[in-house]
Amino acid sequence: MNNFLNRLKSSPVGILGFSIIIIVFFLSIFSEIISPYDPNQYNLRMRYIPPFWISGDLNFILGTDQLGRDMLSRLIYGTRISVIVGIGGVIVSMVIGVFIGLICGFYRGIIDAILSRVIDTLMSIPFILLAISIVGMVGISGNDSLIVIIVVLGLTGWITFARVIRAEVLSIREKEYVESAYAIGQTNFLIIIKHILPNVIPYIIVLSTLQIATVIIAESSLSFLGLGVKPPIVTWGSMLADGRDHLATSWWLATFPGLAITFTTLGLIIFGDWLRDYLDPKMNT
Amino acid sequence: MIKYLAYRLLQLIPPLFGLTIILFVLLRVGGDPIYHLVDPEASAEEIEEVRKAYGFDKPLLVQYMNQMEMIFTGNFGKSFRFKTEAMPLIIERLPATIELALFSILVALIIAIPAGCLSAIYQNSILDLFVTIFSTIGRAMPNFWIGIMLIFFFSVVFRILPVSGRLEATSIILPAITLGTSIATTMARILRSSMIEVIRKEYIVTAKSKGLSKFKIIRSHILRNSLIAVTTVFGLQFAWILGGSVIVEEVFAWPGMGRLILKSVQLRDYSVVQAGVFIFAIIVMFTNLTVDMIYAYLDPRIRYK
C-alpha cells in the first residue's frame, strides 16, 4: 500500500485519474448533503436559466432545465446511477468472466473448446446491441429497472474478463511452481485458488477499472435511448436525451451531462492505464 | 490459401450454431414470447390463434428446430408494425448502415494514420503528448454526445450541415465524423505502439544503414509492418464499430439497420429485432473472416500454422 501511494505520488497523471475517481465517488455518496436542491423539484417560472456566467444568477450555478430543475443538483445525483451501475455491472461480469476464464485456461480440453465457442459467438454480436435487445425484451418497469440494467450489462460484459484471464491462466499453468504443486499432490481446486488466482489478480484489477468506464458509457447510452433506469431516478444519459430536444435554445442542457460522463470515464481510463503500468508493464489490453 | 479458407469457414459453424441459441433465448428471456408478437390489446382467442400460428404451443425442442429452419431459410416471420416480412425490411436498410460504417472507417484512417505515425516517430515529443491527450479524451467521450455537440456547432450555430436524415450528400459528414473519431482513438493508439515496436527491429537498422531515405523507411518498412497489427485489431473491433453505429444512427436519424432495430426493440416488434441481430452478427463474422484472409495473405506464417 505504501509502495502504491509512493508510486502514485510521483505520477501526475495517476494522481489526476485517482482524484477524479475519488471526487465522483464522494459526490455519489453525499449527494443529499452537497446538492443545493432536490434534483426533481421543478419550478416552471425558473425554466431555462443559463449558467451563472451568462445569467449572473448564483442560485443556479449551472442553470436550470426545461422544467426549472437545478442542473447542478441533477448532475450530482446522476453520479449515483453511474457509480452503482458501473460497479455493480462490473462485479457481475468479473465474477462470471474470471470463473469461466479460470476454468477454460486451467482445464482446457472440451470445456474450454465449448466455452471458447460461446465467447466467439457473443463477440460477433455488438455488445451494446445485445444489451439493447435484452433490455427491450425483458422490459423495464419502475422499481426493478436498476437491477435489470446492472444484470444485463454484467451479463453482456463478462467476455472481456474471460478472454484475458483465460490467456493468462494458460501461460501460468505451465510455470514450475504449478508443476511442483501437482507433484506434492495438491488438488486442482487448491492449485487454482492458491497458485493461479493470486497471479491473475493484477489483471482483474486493471480490467475492472477500465471496464467500469465501458459500463458507465453503456448505461448512459441505454438511458439516452430511453431504455435505461426510469425517472424519478436521475441519469446523465436521460438528461442528455432531454437536452438534445432543446439544443437550439439551451445548449447547457446537453453539454453538462456529456461533460460529466466524459470527466468520470476519463478518470477511470487514466487511472486504469496508470494501474496497468504500475502492476505489470508487460500487460497489454 | 484455399485450405486455410476452408478451415476458417468450418470454424464459423460453431458460432453460427451459438447464434441460433442466442436468438432463441433472446425471444424467451422476457417471459412468454407470444406477447412480443400480438397486439397489446388482443383478446385471449386471438392470442391462442397467434400462438398456434407461430408454433409456440409445441415443445421447446420442436420450437427450436422450427426456429433453426426459419434462420436457415432467412424467414424470420412478419413484423407486426409493418405487416410485411422482417428480413427484407432489414436488408433494405443495410446499404445505409454499410455506407455509414465505410465512411466512418475512412474518417478514422484519415485521422489515425498521420496521428499514430507522427506520435510514434517523434515519441515523447510535444506532438506525441498532444496525440495521447486527444486520443485519451476521445476514448472517454460517449459517441452520442460527440454527435450532439457536432450538431450543435455545425447545424445549430454555424448552420452549414444538415441536422439529420440522409437526404443530402452532406448528410453523411457529421455521422461519419462522430463514429470515425471514436474509432480513430483506438486505431491511433494501436498504430503508435506497434510502430514503436517495429522501429526497434533489426531490419529497420539495416534499412537505415543501406542509406534509404527516412520517408521511404517509414512508408515501406515501418508503416507497412505496423498496419498488420492495426488490421487484426480492426477485425476484433468491428463488432464494436457496428454497435456504435446503432447509437449514431439514432442521434442523426440515419435510416439504417441500427435505427430500425432500436425502434423495433422499443415497440417489441420481435421478428425485426431477431432478423437484425442475426444480420449484424453475420456481417461481423464475415468481416473477421475477410480480415483473417487478408492477414494470412500479408503474413504467410499464419497460413501454415
Total Cβ atoms within 10 A of residue B81: 16
**Which pLDDT belongs to residue B303?**
67
Residues of chain B falling short of pLDDT 50: none
Residue window 158-217, chain A: list those with CB within 8 Å of chain B.
213, 217
Task: Give the pLDDT band of residue A18 (cuts 50, 70, 90).
Answer: very high
**Which pLDDT belongs to residue A285?**
44
Chains A, B: CB contacts within 8 A come to: 146
Report whether pLDDT(A141) > 70.
no
Which region, left, alpha or beta, applies to residue A47 given φ > 0 means left and ψ of -120 to 50 means alpha?
A: beta
Task: Give the pLDDT band of residue A283 (cuts 50, 70, 90).
Answer: low
Name the CATH topology of A2-41+51-284: MetI-like fold (1.10.3720)
Q: What percent of chain A has pLDDT over 90?
A: 48
Pick from B258, B268, B277: CB nearest A125: B277
Task: Give the pLDDT band of residue A284 (cuts 50, 70, 90).
Answer: very low
ipTM: 0.90
Say yes or no for a CB contact (<8 Å) between A137 and B247: no
Q: Residues A143-158: what's their mean pLDDT?
A: 88
Reduced to 3 states (helix: H, G, I; strand: E, B; else coil), residue A10 is coil
In one-letter notation, the amino acid at residue A147 is I
Q: Tens of pLDDT along A202-238?
A: 999 999 999 999 999 999 999 999 888 888 889 999 9
Q: How far is A7 from chain B (nearest CA, A)?
A: 21
Say yes or no for a CB contact (<8 Å) between B142 and A127: no
Domain boundaries, chain A: 2-41+51-284
Which residue is closest to B141 within chain A, CA to CA?
A: A262
Report whether pLDDT(A38) > 50.
yes
Domain boundaries, chain B: 16-73, 94-267
Pick from A125, A213, A240: CB nearest B145: A240
Give whichever of A12-21, A118-127, B286-295 has the largest mean pLDDT: A12-21
Sorted by sequence, the CB contacts under 8 Å of residue B9 that are 6+ apart come out as B289
Q: Residues A112-116: what's their mean pLDDT?
A: 89
As a whole number of angstroms, the distance between CA B105 and CA B130 comes to 22
Please give the mean pLDDT across all residues of chain A.
Answer: 89
Provide the CATH number for the domain formed by B94-267 in this structure. 1.10.3720.10
Burial of B210 by CB count in 10 Å (0-12 exposed, 13-18 middle, 19+ buried)? exposed
Torsion of CA B39, B42, B47, B53, to 10 degrees: -50
Say yes or no for a CB contact (<8 Å) between A225 and B270: no
Q: Residues A258-284: what's their mean pLDDT?
A: 86
Which residue is closest to B285 within chain A, CA to CA?
A: A124
Report whether pLDDT(A142) > 70.
no
Place of cell 432478423: B275
| DSSP label of B161 | S
Q: What is the pTM of this model?
A: 0.91
Given a contact cutoff of 8 angstroms between Cβ atoms, the answer to whether A65 and A240 are in contact is no
Whether chain B has a CB inside 8 Å of the CB on A233: the answer is no
